[in-house]
């Protein structure tokens, strides 16, 4: 009855949660609901819209957990973020990311709304209320001794002052406002960038009952940094120097740092975004101000699908550092919160020009992410975990490199929240579920089978009726009433059996067709994946060859450059002996020419001037 994909056997990097957003007339694209969570289970059924029923099977997707439309922000936070926050306190990196179709609620989940805090605000709230007065004094500890040699470290007050003085100079330009601020503006909050600091954060949900466990003898420092991946380039969102002109922003590089903190004994150092601004915050309010400044710098534009659509992948890094009572740094780890831009169809989003190019870059990076997610649950032919091609795109490199390289003390653990609208774009949503789900089954539910086999029911019934009419005509002539009833009953029974057999056959055929279609689709998907992988591998090889070639050229250039210049005296001597040789040759030629010439000893005459004229005196030189 079912064609089942193998259950996950590899150690999964991402736990995958599904969050359904409440549908609204604005967000709804489909006429009927196509996503239905199985009550009390971690499965969701995807029923294709009615007109497509004949071609598609009903699919069942499994996740770590499903949050239905009634789930609150706090429910999602407790399940997904709290373990990662505790993990960061204990010295291990973690990542929380959201994935979904545009408008499905990623930013709402991560950053909340005017009434509700998002995962980010709740994480900061719980972190600072847990740390309380055990926060280190910025001026009394040497945070620079750690891996921040490549980062620009500032305290929140200085950062805030700089940002505000940069903002005061230029009146607000709405077109470069970030999504979060734009939401606030829509809600009538503020119209001046300079008043960013006064944006209030919703009190709900109350997370005062939540806390993380800290080491009783330690003190802590919290550093916040924010960057975005826009058109495959990394930009600092807390850079005050380019706040009034986004085109002047300098792209940053993701690389291994030149120094690592003394406490980091792992062989492989973590990759970091080099030259990033890291702001020290001492309390929740300061952290929120930093967050708002960063959000205001983020790329967001209205599209047809979402009035304030994120056009970049945004990364917020909350770095927790532990210090001994004497102020020596003990360890540190980060919680990365990532708001991924949504995949979208150009036709639906009605984008063009720059927006279309952005969408292309977004979709490409999300496709690579999809492949990585799909492969994290698969096992290759030799029984080993499948190779995850995370080097394919900058986004997957940022998300996965520190996990698969084993850097930072055995890699990081992460949670992915897949957001979906049960009445949104059927094709786009199903595609995301296919590659993000931890398990998938293709099923033919009973109800749907019956609905489809309705055709055979009615044709069987009508043929039975025809047969009965013919029988009754014959029987009425020569049989008694009882015999007639008995025969009719047996006839009915027989028809019923035939009808059941037909239904069974129909079901089998239908099941067979569905399985064949599903298998074919799987094969095709696998083929496309393989082709893409091959393509990327070839491209990688070509790039490596190209870089090697370039390096070779550079190396040669350096060699030539490094040749010691010949000694000047040596060179003069060389030239002099060359000169002497030439002079002798010329003299020999001259003598030879003179001896052969009929007008020996004359210089010219009336005809052409002798070619040897003037050579007689060469000996002088
Ligand atoms: N769970 C939810 N409860 C209430 N409203 C929601 C929920 N999810 C999303 N919304 C609303 O839907 C709209 C679009 O959501 P949001 O901006 O979060 O989408 P997105 O997935 O981030 O889109 P994009 O990828 O284009 O940035 C917002 O107005 C948001 O408030």
Q: Model confidence over 436-481: pLDDT tens digits?
A: 888 887 765 444 444 444 444 445 455 555 555 555 555 555 556 7
Q: From the annotation, which residues make up the binding site for ATP?
A: 100-107
Query: Nearest-CA neighbor of 198 among 300, 136, 289, 99?
Result: 289
Are 114 and 249 within one domain?
yes
Distance from the CA of 310 to the center of ligand 1, in angstroms? Answer: 11
DSSP secondary structure code for residue 148 in this structure: G
For residues 130-152, give the mean pLDDT: 76
Q: Best of 66, 77, 102, 107 to mutate for ligand 1, by most ligand atoms within 8 A of CB?
A: 107
Residues 117, 202 contacting (CB under 8 angstroms): yes
Are 513 and 405 within one domain?
no
Chain position carrying tokens 């007050």: 157
pLDDT value, residue 67:
96
H-only helix segments in 132-267:
156-169, 179-186
Query: Nearest-CA neighbor of 281 among 139, 155, 164, 145?
Result: 155
Local confidence band at 489 (pLDDT 50, 70, 90 cut-offs): confident
Are 246 and 106 within one domain?
yes
Q: Where are the beta strands (DSSP E) in 366-487?
A: 413-421, 439-443
Residue finishing a domain among 359, 387, 409: 409
CATH code of the domain containing 384 = 3.40.850.10
Nearest CA to ligand 1 atom 30: 108
* Per-residue pLDDT tens over the stretch 72-90: 999 999 999 999 999 999 9
Residue 549 to residue 543: CA distance in whole angstroms: 10
Residue finishing a domain among 532, 549, 573: 532
Are 405 and 508 within one domain?
no
Residue finishing a domain among 343, 375, 409: 409
Ligand 1 atom nearest to CA at 303: 26
Q: Best of 73, 100, 105, 348 to mutate for ligand 1, by most ligand atoms within 8 A of CB?
A: 105
Least confident window among 12-21, 65-74, 263-272: 263-272
Nearest CA to ligand 1 atom 23: 103
Q: Considering the domain boundaries, does residue 95 fall inside one?
A: yes
CB-CB neighbours of 152 under 10 Å:
15
Maximum alpha-carbon separation in the chain: 158
* Inter-axis angle of helices 353-376 and 481-562, nearest 10: 110
* Inter-axis angle of helices 353-376 and 394-404, nearest 10: 30
Q: From the annotation, which residues make up the binding site?
A: 100-107
Residues 281, 258 contacting (CB under 8 angstroms): no
Residue 470 to residue 185: CA distance in whole angstroms: 78
3-class DSSP state for residue 340?
Answer: coil
Q: Considering the domain boundaries, does residue 548 fall inside one?
A: no
* pLDDT, the chain, mean: 75
Residues 473, 488 contacting (CB under 8 angstroms): no
Nearest CA to ligand 1 atom 10: 105
Q: Best of 108, 185, 301 to mutate for ligand 1, by most ligand atoms within 8 A of CB?
A: 108
Residue 267: pLDDT above 80? Answer: no
Q: Considering the domain boundaries, does residue 107 fall inside one?
A: yes
Are 210 and 330 within one domain?
yes
- 509 is in which domain, residue-wise? 504-532
Global confidence as pTM: 0.66
Nearest CA to ligand 1 atom 1: 21
Distance from the CA of 308 to the center of ligand 1, in angstroms? Answer: 9
Distance from the CA of 307 to the center of ligand 1, in angstroms? Answer: 10
pLDDT value, residue 142:
72
Residue 421: pLDDT above 50? Answer: yes
Query: Nearest-CA neighbor of 97 among 86, 87, 106?
Result: 106
Distance from the CA of 406 to the center of ligand 1, in angstroms? Answer: 35
Q: Considering the domain boundaries, does residue 99 fall inside one?
A: yes
Residue 26: pLDDT above 80? Answer: no
Ligand 1 atom nearest to CA at 340: 25
Distance from the CA of 106 to the center of ligand 1, in angstroms? Answer: 6
* Per-residue pLDDT tens over the stretch 386-404: 777 888 889 998 988 766 5
Are 399 and 519 within one domain?
no
Residue 8: pLDDT above 90? Answer: no
Q: Best of 21, 117, 418 to mutate for ligand 1, by most ligand atoms within 8 A of CB?
A: 21
Distance from the CA of 500 to the center of ligand 1, in angstroms? Answer: 49
Q: Considering the domain boundaries, does residue 111 fall inside one?
A: yes
Q: Considering the domain boundaries, does residue 35 fall inside one?
A: no
**Ligand 1: lining residues by beta carbon, under 6 Å:** 21-22, 100, 102-108, 113, 306, 309-310, 341-342, 419
- Residue 229 has phi, psi (to 5 degrees) of -105, 105
Are 381 and 523 within one domain?
no
Residue 206: pLDDT above 90? Answer: yes
3-class DSSP state for residue 178?
Answer: coil
For residues 550-571, give the mean pLDDT: 72
Nearest CA to ligand 1 atom 16: 105
pLDDT value, residue 530:
83
Ligand 1 atom nearest to CA at 342: 25
Nearest CA to ligand 1 atom 11: 105
Distance from the CA of 114 to the center of ligand 1, in angstroms? Answer: 12
Distance from the CA of 92 to the center of ligand 1, in angstroms? Answer: 30
pLDDT value, residue 601:
46
Local confidence band at 246 (pLDDT 50, 70, 90 cut-offs): low
Distance from the CA of 512 to the center of ligand 1, in angstroms? Answer: 40
Residues 100, 106 contacting (CB under 8 angstroms): yes
Q: Best of 306, 309, 419 to mutate for ligand 1, by most ligand atoms within 8 A of CB?
A: 306
Ligand 1 atom nearest to CA at 73: 1
Are 122 and 237 within one domain?
yes
Ligand 1 atom nearest to CA at 183: 29
pLDDT value, residue 529:
82
Q: Considering the domain boundaries, does residue 601 fall inside one?
A: no
Q: Give how many domains the chain has, as a whole number.
A: 2
pLDDT value, residue 9:
40
Distance from the CA of 103 to the center of ligand 1, in angstroms? Answer: 5
Are 111 and 237 within one domain?
yes
Ligand 1 atom nearest to CA at 309: 26
Residues 302, 309 contacting (CB under 8 angstroms): yes
Are 396 and 275 within one domain?
yes
Distance from the CA of 62 to the center of ligand 1, in angstroms? Answer: 23
């Amino acid at each position: 009855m079912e064609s089942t994909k193998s259950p996950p056997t590899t150690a999964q990097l991402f736990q995958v949660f599904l969050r359904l957003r409440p549908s609204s007339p604005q967000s709804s694209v489909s006429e009927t609901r196509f996503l239905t969570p199985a009550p009390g289970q971690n499965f969701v059924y995807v029923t294709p819209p009615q007109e497509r029923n004949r071609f598609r099977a009903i699919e069942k997707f499994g996740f770590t957990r499903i949050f239905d439309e009634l789930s609150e922000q706090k429910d999602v936070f407790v399940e997904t973020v709290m373990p990662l926050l505790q993990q960061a306190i204990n010295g291990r990196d973690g990542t929380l990311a959201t994935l979904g179709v545009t408008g499905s609620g990623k930013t709402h989940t991560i950053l909340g709304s005017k009434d509700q805090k998002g995962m980010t605000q709740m994480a900061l709230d719980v972190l600072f209320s847990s740390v309380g007065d055990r926060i280190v004094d910025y001026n009394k500890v040497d945070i620079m001794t750690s891996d921040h040699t490549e980062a620009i470290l500032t305290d929140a007050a200085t950062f805030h002052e700089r940002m505000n003085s940069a903002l005061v100079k230029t009146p607000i330009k709405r077109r470069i406002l970030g999504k979060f601020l734009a939401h606030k503006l829509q809600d009538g909050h503020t119209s001046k960038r300079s008043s960013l600091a006064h944006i209030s954060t919703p009190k709900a949900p109350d997370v005062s009952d939540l806390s993380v466990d800290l080491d009783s003898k330690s003190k802590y420092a919290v550093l916040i940094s924010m960057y975005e991946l826009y058109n495959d380039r990394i930009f600092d969102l807390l850079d005050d120097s380019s706040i009034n002109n986004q085109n002047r922003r300098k792209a940053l590089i993701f690389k291994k740092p030149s120094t690592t903190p003394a406490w980091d004994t792992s062989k492989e150092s973590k990759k970091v975004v080099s030259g990033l601004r890291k702001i020290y915050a001492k309390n929740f309010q300061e952290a929120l101000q930093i967050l708002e400044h960063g959000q205001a710098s983020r790329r967001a534009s209205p599209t047809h699908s979402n009035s304030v659509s994120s056009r970049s992948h945004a990364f917020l890094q909350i770095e927790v550092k532990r210090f001994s009572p004497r102020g020596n740094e003990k360890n540190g780890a980060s919680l990365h919160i990532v708001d991924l831009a949504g995949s979208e169809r150009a036709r639906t989003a009605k984008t063009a020009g720059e927006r279309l190019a952005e969408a292309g870059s977004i979709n490409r990076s999300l496709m690579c992410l999809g492949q990585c997610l799909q492969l994290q649950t698969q096992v290759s032919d030799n029984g080993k975990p499948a190779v995850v091609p995370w080097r394919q795109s900058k986004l997957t490199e940022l998300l996965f490199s520190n996990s698969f390289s084993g850097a930072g003390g055995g890699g990081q653990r992460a949670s992915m929240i897949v957001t979906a609208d049960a009445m949104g774009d059927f094709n786009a949503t199903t595609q995301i579920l296919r590659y993000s789900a931890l398990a998938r089954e293709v099923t033919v539910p009973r109800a749907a089978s019956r609905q489809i086999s309705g055709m055979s029911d009615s044709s069987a019934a009508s043929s039975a009726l025809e047969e009965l009419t013919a029988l009754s005509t014959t029987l009425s002539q020569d049989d008694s009433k009882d015999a007639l009833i008995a025969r009719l009953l047996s006839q009915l029974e027989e028809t019923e059996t035939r009808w059941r057999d037909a239904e069974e056959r129909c079901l089998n055929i239908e099941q067979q067709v569905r399985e064949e279609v599903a298998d074919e689709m799987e094969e095709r998907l696998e083929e496309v994946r393989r082709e893409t992988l091959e393509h990327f591998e070839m491209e990688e090889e070509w790039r490596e060859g190209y870089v090697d070639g370039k390096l070779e050229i550079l190396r040669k250039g350096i060699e030539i450059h490094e040749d010691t210049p010949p000694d000047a005296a040596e060179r003069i001597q060389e030239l002099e002996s060359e000169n002497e040789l030439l002079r002798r040759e010329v003299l020999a030629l001259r003598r030879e020419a003179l001896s052969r010439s009929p007008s020996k000893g004359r210089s010219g005459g009336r005809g052409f001037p002798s070619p040897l004229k003037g050579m007689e005196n060469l000996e002088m030189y």
